[in-house]
């Protein structure tokens, strides 16, 4: 299983400059008044006005004493972080503001790098800005191996591909107005300053935290309900994924439903290609389900990113914005909405392509990005994942899927259907050995099945905290 970890820290600035400035200003006022009285004394009687000045300053001095005492207390309760010791100290009160200014400078430089010049900008109802960027200027072409190139032509589709998705490209909020990006451009969700300030680590914004990934799923607060196949060579995978808007308990948790195409050991050489939908308040600043992609070639250490937040995935479609909100979504005992995703390896060039819905190509991951996945995958995984930060010492109430258990079935529980893999000869074939696993089944569970209409499928999900999941 692919296990992720999110890390957070308090980085709110504590500005002490204003207090120090005010203290110095009062001292300066005192000196100025003394000088004024001294000048006046030359014109009148020096002794009487000197006494007056002394009397005035004696009135002010208790105020200054009280203010200095306040500063001393403030410095004790609001210490400044020292990068040398890794602990909090009150020794360098001007360090924190300088660090904050440097952080903002680095963030703005990074935003200039990933937010490319737009031919046109579209305002989405959810507050997103969608920039229409010339295809050859998208972030992927900052990569040394892609500089000066243009997106590739569409590859050969897998044999046996029969579109099963319910929708076309118009499944995102930003496109509901009918305003689209021109031909020759790609829509990219603009990253804002507040997006990066909200991140647990702005230096790794758009990336999953570094960690040792294990096959065991019982660690680091990540909980899963998944179906998977392994033990063969896989050249792609396909599924239709039910879309919901699960409740996420706090900013530091997420809920997602996705496909993983995996190769390598579950150590530092893990390669993954990932796509699906996610609710992530930390990454996006809201609770909308959003279409996303991810990749890594070294177990989430130094390579890879979400969406188009680094050089990697090459987008070829001008109607789908990766990272944008999905609409509509499914409702309990009501209408159901799903998206169909296909990832497969182009037999001719070896790149991994992503297709959405009824044959709509989104783009591709160049083969040179990977090590093990340059050849084939050794595991394919489908399902849901949440982060449980145990707020207040209890299990999180973050929902997976619809927020209801698998046993409730269609219209109530979330599902994956028509699960398939791509074989060595570029054929889409049914799964022959699907296994299902829920590592915290009292909180989130899964039930698999097979029929003539849905082929291989499963229901999954749950509410999180409940009487059986305290």
Report d(CA 184, CA 98) in Å as an integer.
43
Residue 134: partners with Cβ closer than 8 Å, 6 or more residues away: 116, 117, 119, 184, 185
Structure tokens at 168: 């076309």
Active site residue 385: yes
Choice among 223, 253, 282, 385 that is catalytic: 385
Burial zone of 366 (CB within 10 Å; 0-12 exposed, 13-18 middle, 19+ buried)? buried
Active site residue 100: no
Report d(CA 77, CA 226) in Å as an integer.
47
Choice among 84, 274, 282, 408 that is catalytic: 274
Residue 133 has a CB neighbour count (10 Å cut-off) of: 23
Residue 317: partners with Cβ closer than 8 Å, 6 or more residues away: 169, 186, 356, 360, 361, 362, 363
CA distances from 361 to 2, 41, 84, 290, 343 (A): 26, 88, 50, 18, 10
Q: Which residues of 290-326 are buried (b: 16+ CB within 10 A; e: fewer)?
A: bbbbbbbbbbbbebbbbbbbbbbbbbbbbbbbbbbbb
Report d(CA 3, CA 206) in Å as an integer.
17
HEC string of 130-157? EEEEEHHHCHHHHCCCCCCCCCCCCCCC
Phi and psi (nearest 5°) for 345?
A: -95, 120
Catalytic residues: 274, 385
């Amino acid at each position: 299983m692919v296990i992720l970890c999110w890390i957070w820290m308090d980085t709110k600035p504590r500005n002490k400059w204003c207090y120090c400035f005010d203290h110095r200003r009062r001292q300066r006022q005192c000196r100025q008044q003394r000088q004024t009285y001294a000048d006046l004394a030359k014109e009148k009687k020096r002794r009487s006005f000197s006494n007056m000045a002394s009397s005035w300053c004696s009135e002010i001095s208790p105020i200054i004493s009280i203010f200095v005492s306040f500063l001393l207390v403030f410095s004790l309760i609001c210490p400044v972080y020292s990068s040398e010791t890794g602990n909090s100290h009150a020794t360098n009160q001007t360090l924190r503001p300088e660090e904050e200014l440097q952080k903002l400078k680095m963030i703005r430089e990074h935003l200039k790098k990933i937010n490319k010049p737009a031919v046109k900008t579209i305002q989405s109802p959810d507050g997103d800005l969608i920039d229409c960027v010339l295809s050859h200027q998208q972030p992927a072409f900052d990569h040394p191996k892609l500089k000066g190139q243009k997106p590739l032509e569409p590859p050969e589709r897998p044999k046996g591909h029969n579109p099963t998705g319910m929708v076309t490209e118009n499944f995102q909020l930003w496109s509901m107005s009918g305003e689209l990006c021109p031909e020759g451009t790609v829509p990219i969700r603009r990253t804002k300053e507040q997006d990066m300030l909200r991140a647990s680590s702005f230096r790794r914004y758009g990336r999953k935290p570094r960690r040792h990934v294990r096959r065991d799923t019982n660690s680091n607060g990540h909980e899963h309900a998944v179906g998977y196949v392994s033990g063969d060579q896989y050249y792609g995978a396909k599924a239709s994924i039910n879309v919901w808007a699960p409740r996420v308990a706090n900013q530091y948790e997420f809920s997602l439903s996705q496909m993983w195409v995996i190769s390598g050991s579950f150590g530092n050489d893990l390669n993954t290609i990932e796509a699906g939908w996610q609710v992530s308040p930390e990454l996006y600043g809201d609770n909308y389900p959003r279409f996303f992609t991810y990749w890594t070639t070294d177990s989430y250490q130094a390579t890879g990113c979400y969406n188009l937040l680094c050089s990697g995935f090459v987008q070829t479609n001008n109607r789908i914005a990766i990272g944008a909100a999905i609409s509509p979504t499914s409702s309990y005992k009501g209408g159901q909405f799903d998206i169909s995703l296909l990832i497969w390896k182009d037999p001719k060039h070896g790149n991994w392509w992503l297709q959405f819905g009824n044959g709509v190509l989104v783009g591709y991951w160049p083969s040179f990005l990977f090590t093990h996945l340059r050849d084939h995958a050794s595991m394919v995984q489908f399902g849901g994942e949440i982060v449980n930060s145990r707020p207040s010492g209890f299990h999180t109430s973050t929902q997976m899927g619809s927020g209801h258990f698998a046993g409730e079935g269609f219209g109530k529980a979330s599902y994956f259907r028509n699960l398939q893999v791509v074989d060595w000869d570029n054929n889409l074939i049914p799964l022959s050995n699907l296994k299902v696993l829920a590592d915290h089944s009292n909180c989130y569970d899964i039930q698999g099945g097979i029929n003539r209409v849905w082929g291989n499928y499963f229901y999954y999900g749950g509410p999180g905290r409940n009487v059986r999941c305290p």
